[in-house]
């Protein structure tokens, strides 16, 4: 009985594979037949492609990336606890989620080794504010005994000097157990190793993998390390926090609407709506979340004389006057963002490192003539 079911599923999946192949072949043919045609029609489209490629690179560079991090190995979903951190507007500049590079089992526990390097290279003054080692464990036999869990970290790779960070007794193993390992991050390092001393008969849970290919991560997924940091860019002050909570989002919308009052003024410099869909821009392959956001934009004129509500700078007022004298030589002031706020994005760096990081200047809060 069981056997027949299994055969059935195999067959159906083969079928769908065949179907998929056919579809993609047809699409491919379609594309091929269109390509020479479109090439001859618009050189502009090529220009656009080059331009959009360079914009995409510009955006990646803002994160310190040269290109979209290449993922090797199986695809692993973003775990729920990272979504929780992302959704919870917790005022952190940078969150990284690592799976161990190596798990070495020993008699009384196991060693977890993490490679902390990333593809993103930004010279930041990073300050680790919190580091959590998350473990999902199970007991081999049914006995309900509590035991002591002790976390050590190795001061360096060379010798086996290890320091105890936390030790506590845990009874309930059904859920994640979080250990605060912030103390291990007192200095900057690219690799970090922990030794986890376990009570008898306790071992790392193996994730029920959905595919054979994710098997190497079966244990790794039960021992992630999450590092929270603040980034202080030198010579700059902390920006406005990302407006991600529903509350401030609503406030933002309201702010935008405030300007719609007078029809006659509608052409003056002001903030208008602009929704960004990352799918639309073709950036969904690296920006896993959000799917899109309200970016807003600044549109409208900066006339001379400048009405007070346009929030013009002294320089803009002078420039506006000079433009009125010599319109061909001096451009008028521009309607541009005067206040912006950042947006937290979630992306996957190399080696399945899941990163939540702030993109500065992503959302327009107010506009003015500059």
Partner 1 sequence: MRIFLLLFLVPYLHSKGIYLIEDRDGQTYTQPLTGQSPQKIGEQIRELFNIDINPSEPPVKTNPYVSTYMKSLYKQLDSYEHGENHDEDEVNAWLSADRIVSHMAQEVSQRLDDGSYRIRFAKEHVPSKEGQSILRAQLRVHIQGIVSPIFFYIEDTNLASDTVLVSSKDPTVVSDVTTMVDRWSHLQLSTLPIITARASTENKLNIEAFLVIALKDEEAGPPKRRSRRAATASPISSSPMRQKTKRSESAYFEKRNHPPSKSDITHLSADANALCQRKGLYVDFDTLGWKQWVIAPEGFSAYYCSGACSAPFHKTMNATSHAIVQSTIHLVRPNSTSPAKCAPSHLTSMKILFVDQKKNVQIKRYRDMVVDECGCH
Binding region for partner 1 (CB under 8 A) = 48, 51-52, 54-59, 62, 235-237, 239-240, 274, 276, 280-281, 283, 295, 297-299, 311-315, 317-319, 321-322, 325-326, 328-331, 333-340, 359-364, 366, 368, 370
Question: Which is nearer to partner 1, 192 or 362 (by Cβ)?
Answer: 362
- CB of 355 vs partner 1, minimal distance in Å: 16
Considering the complex, what minimum distance in angstroms separates the CB of residue 58 from partner 1?
Answer: 5
CB of 51 vs partner 1, minimal distance in Å: 4
Shortest Cβ distance from residue 15 to partner 1 (Å)? 37
Taking a C-beta distance cutoff of 8 angstroms, is the pair 369, 312 a contact? yes
Q: What span, in angstroms and rounded, lies between the C-alpha atoms of 86 and 242?
A: 12
Report d(CA 133, CA 183) in Å as an integer.
Answer: 12
Write the burial class of residue 194 (CB in 10 Å: 0-12 exposed, 13-18 middle, 19+ buried).
Answer: buried
| CA–CA separation, 4 and 39 (whole Å) | 52
Complex with partner 1: residue 218 or 336, whichever CB lies closer: 336
| Residue placing its CB nearer to partner 1 in the complex, 149 or 293 | 293
Q: How far is CA 287 from CA 55, 68, 119, 180, 253, in A?
A: 15, 10, 15, 29, 24
Nearer to partner 1, 48 or 71 (CB): 48
Which 8-state DSSP code applies to residue 298? E
Least distance CB 115 / partner 1 (angstroms): 29
- Taking the least distance from each CB to partner 1, the nearer of 173 and 306 is 306
Phi, psi dihedral angles at 359 (to 5 degrees): -100, 120
CA distance 20 to 15: 9
CB nearer to partner 1: give 154 or 286.
286
| Shortest distance (Å) from residue 260 CB to partner 1 | 18
φ, ψ for residue 179, nearest 5 deg = -120, 135
């Amino acid at each position: 009985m069981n056997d027949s079911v299994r055969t059935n599923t195999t067959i159906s999946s083969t079928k769908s594979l065949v179907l998929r192949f056919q579809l993609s072949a047809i699409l491919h043919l379609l594309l091929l037949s269109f390509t020479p045609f479109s090439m001859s029609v618009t050189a502009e489209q090529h220009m656009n492609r080059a331009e959009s490629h360079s914009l995409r690179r510009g955006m990646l560079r803002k994160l310190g990336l040269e290109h979209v991090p290449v993922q090797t190995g199986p695809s692993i979903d973003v775990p729920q606890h990272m979504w929780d951190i992302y959704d919870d507007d917790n005022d952190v500049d940078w969150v990284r989620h690592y799976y161990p590079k190596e798990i070495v089992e020993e008699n009384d526990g196991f060693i977890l080794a993490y490679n902390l390097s990333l593809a993103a290279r930004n010279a930041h003054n990073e300050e680790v504010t919190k580091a959590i080692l998350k473990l999902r464990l199970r007991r081999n036999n049914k006995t309900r005994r509590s035991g002591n869990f002790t976390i050590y970290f190795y001061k360096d790779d060379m010798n086996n000097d290890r320091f105890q960070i936390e030790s506590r007794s845990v009874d309930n193993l059904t859920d994640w157990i979080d250990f605060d390992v912030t103390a291990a991050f007192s200095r900057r390092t690219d690799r970090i190793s922990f030794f986890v001393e376990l009570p008898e008969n306790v071992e790392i849970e193996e994730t029920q993998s959905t595919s054979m290919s994710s098997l190497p991560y079966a244990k790794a997924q039960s021992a992630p390390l999450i590092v929270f940091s603040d980034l202080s860019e030198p010579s700059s002050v902390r920006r406005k926090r990302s407006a991600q909570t529903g509350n401030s989002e609503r406030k933002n919308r309201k702010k935008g609407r405030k300007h719609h009052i007078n029809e006659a003024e509608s052409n003056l410099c002001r903030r208008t709506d602009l929704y960004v869909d990352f799918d639309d821009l073709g950036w969904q392959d690296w920006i896993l979340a959000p799917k899109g956001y309200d970016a807003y934009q600044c549109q409208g004129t900066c006339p001379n004389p400048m009405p007070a509500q346009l929030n013009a700078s002294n320089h803009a007022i002078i420039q506006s006057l000079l433009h009125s004298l010599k319109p061909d030589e001096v451009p008028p002031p521009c309607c541009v963002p005067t206040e912006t706020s950042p947006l937290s994005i979630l992306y996957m760096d190399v080696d399945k490192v899941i990163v939540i990081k702030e993109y500065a200047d992503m959302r327009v809060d107010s506009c003015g003539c500059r």
